[in-house]
Amino acid sequence: MSTPLYDEAQKMALAIFDSFSKTAMRNACRSYLSAKRKRKQKEVVGSEAVQYVIDTHGETDIYPSEHIITDSHGHSCVITTEWLYQAMLQLTEQQKEVLILEFWYGMMICSIAEMLHITERTVYNRKQSAFRSIRKYYEEKR
């Protein structure tokens, strides 16, 4: 059987519990919102990191309307400047092929020689004569 004093004590305990509950919930709310704000700040840092990757590893798309394609013996390359395209037209098929394989396909001279069944010296000579022709064309047009 409860006494008035006991009831008072319970009422007091309930009031304290109510205050305790509300404080716990407010704290939970604050820490959630604070964590959310921090996550948002990190997201900004994250987007900077993404931008860094794009800047350092990104490639620019080349659209068909902005470039000229030339090929030699089935090896094609994309040229973005008109004068270089015109200069490439002056070259023999063999010279063009060596340039495409080295500068557009990124092959080593020894690999090109092996692929075309010629000596490395021949590859080198073709490349040098191609350079001379291109330089001559460029100087004449300038």
HEC profile of the chain: CCCHHHHHHHHHHHHHHHHHHHHHHHHHHHHHHHHHHHHHHHHHHHHHHHHHHHHHHCCCCCCHHHCEEEEECCEEEEECCHHHHHHHHCCCHHHHHHHHHHHHCCCCHHHHHHHHCCCHHHHHHHHHHHHHHHHHHHHHHC
Closest contact distance (angstroms) between CB of 15 and another protein is: 9
> How many residues form the binding site for another protein (CB under 8 A)?
18
Among 1, 4, 5, 16, binds another protein (CB under 8 A): 16
Among 3, 4, 8, 22, binds another protein (CB under 8 A): 22
Q: Is 20 in the site for another protein (CB under 8 A)?
A: yes
Near another protein by CB under 8 A, which window of 14-22, 49-57, 66-74, 108-116? Answer: 14-22
Provide the binding-site residues for another protein, judged by CB under 8 A.
10, 13-14, 16-18, 20-22, 24-29, 31-33
